[in-house]
């Protein structure tokens, strides 16, 4: 066998052993603090989202504590993943949440997310007890950047972190930003990947999909 062919065989064998899928052959080491877990309990790549510095950033931004999630899983509901509260606080089991609720998938690296976050904040302010808003920092390894973005955008609704992409399959994530609408029974009635251009657009979507009428 020629030297060139031997080199080619070595490359092919290397790809087979490391999957050649753009991900490391071994998972990155877990960092201190909370991380995400999937439905099967498999540990996801961890990013420390609860440190004294992050807690300070969260306090300065005035972000609300993460909600308690004590309800049993609903048929057609949110996935059974447990996500850490961004900037410290109780972990959240998504399947234990009930609506009416709007979940905004965002990240500090997502340009359009920066433009639409104020519309979600206005929804949060207008909704009162009629609707809850939850931010989900998706596939983001920069929690400080995410909290800084939230503060700049004026976001005060609760935020959870999914640095390992645990919700990717359940929500069929194909890009950001995204919106998930959950009804009062806990069922996911809609998942869309679109840029919300105004509060009026968001308000109309909530009325159509969840039947919740909010002030202008």
In a domain, 27, yes or no: no
In a domain, 55, yes or no: yes
In a domain, 8, yes or no: no
Instruction: Assess whether pLDDT exceeds 90 at residue 24.
Output: no
Please report which confidence band the pLDDT of residue 5 belongs to, taking 50, 70 and 90 as the band edges. Answer: very low
The residue range of the domain holding 100 is 33-210
Where does residue 195 rank: exposed (0-12), middle (13-18), buried (19+ CB within 10 A)?
A: middle
Q: State what percent of residues in the chain have pLDDT above 70.
A: 79
C-alpha–C-alpha distance, residues 98 and 118, integer Å: 23
Q: What CATH number does the domain containing 178 carry?
A: 3.40.30.10
Question: Which tens digits make up the pLDDT trace of 65-110?
Answer: 999 999 999 999 999 999 999 999 999 999 999 999 999 999 999 9
pLDDT at 44: 53
pLDDT at 18: 29
Instruction: Assess whether pLDDT exceeds 70 at residue 2.
Output: no
The residues pairing with 180 across neighbouring beta strands, listed in sequence order, are 103, 191
Please report which confidence band the pLDDT of residue 45 belongs to, taking 50, 70 and 90 as the band edges. Answer: low
C-alpha–C-alpha distance, residues 187 and 184, integer Å: 7
In a domain, 63, yes or no: yes
- Are 84 and 91 spatial neighbours (Cβ–Cβ below 8 Å)? yes
Question: Which tens digits make up the pLDDT trace of 146-181?
Answer: 999 999 999 999 999 999 999 999 999 999 999 999
Residue 96 DSSP label? G
The residues pairing with 37 across neighbouring beta strands, listed in sequence order, are 43, 82
Give how many domains the chain has, as a whole number.
Answer: 1
In a domain, 5, yes or no: no
Question: Which tens digits make up the pLDDT trace of 176-205?
Answer: 999 999 999 999 999 999 999 999 999 999
Q: State what percent of residues in the chain have pLDDT above 90.
A: 79
C-alpha–C-alpha distance, residues 41 and 174, integer Å: 23
Residue 83 DSSP label? E
- Are 27 and 165 spatial neighbours (Cβ–Cβ below 8 Å)? no
Instruction: Assess whether pLDDT exceeds 80 at residue 13.
Output: no
């Amino acid at each position: 066998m020629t030297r060139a062919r031997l080199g080619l065989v070595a490359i092919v064998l290397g790809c087979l052993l490391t999957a050649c899928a753009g991900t490391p052959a071994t998972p990155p080491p877990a960092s201190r603090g909370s991380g995400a877990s999937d439905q099967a309990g498999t540990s996801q790549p961890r990013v420390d989202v609860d440190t004294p510095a992050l807690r300070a950033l969260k306090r300065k931004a005035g972000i609300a504590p993460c909600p308690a999630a004590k309800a049993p899983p609903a048929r057609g509901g949110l996935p059974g993943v447990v996500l850490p509260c961004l900037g410290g606080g109780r972990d959240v089991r998504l399947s234990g949440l009930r609506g009416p609720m709007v979940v905004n998938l965002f990240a500090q690296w997502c340009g359009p997310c920066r433009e639409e976050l104020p519309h979600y904040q206005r929804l949060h302010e207008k909704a009162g007890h009629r609707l809850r808003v939850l931010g989900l920092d998706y596939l983001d390894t920069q929690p400080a950047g995410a909290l800084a973005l939230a503060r700049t955008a004026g976001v005060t609704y609760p935020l959870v972190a999914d640095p390992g992409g645990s919700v990717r399959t359940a929500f069929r994530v194909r890009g950001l930003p995204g919106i998930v609408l959950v009804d009062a029974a806990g069922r996911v009635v809609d998942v869309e990947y679109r840029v919300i251009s105004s509060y009026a657009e968001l308000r109309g979507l909530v009325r159509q999909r969840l039947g919740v009428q909010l002030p202008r």
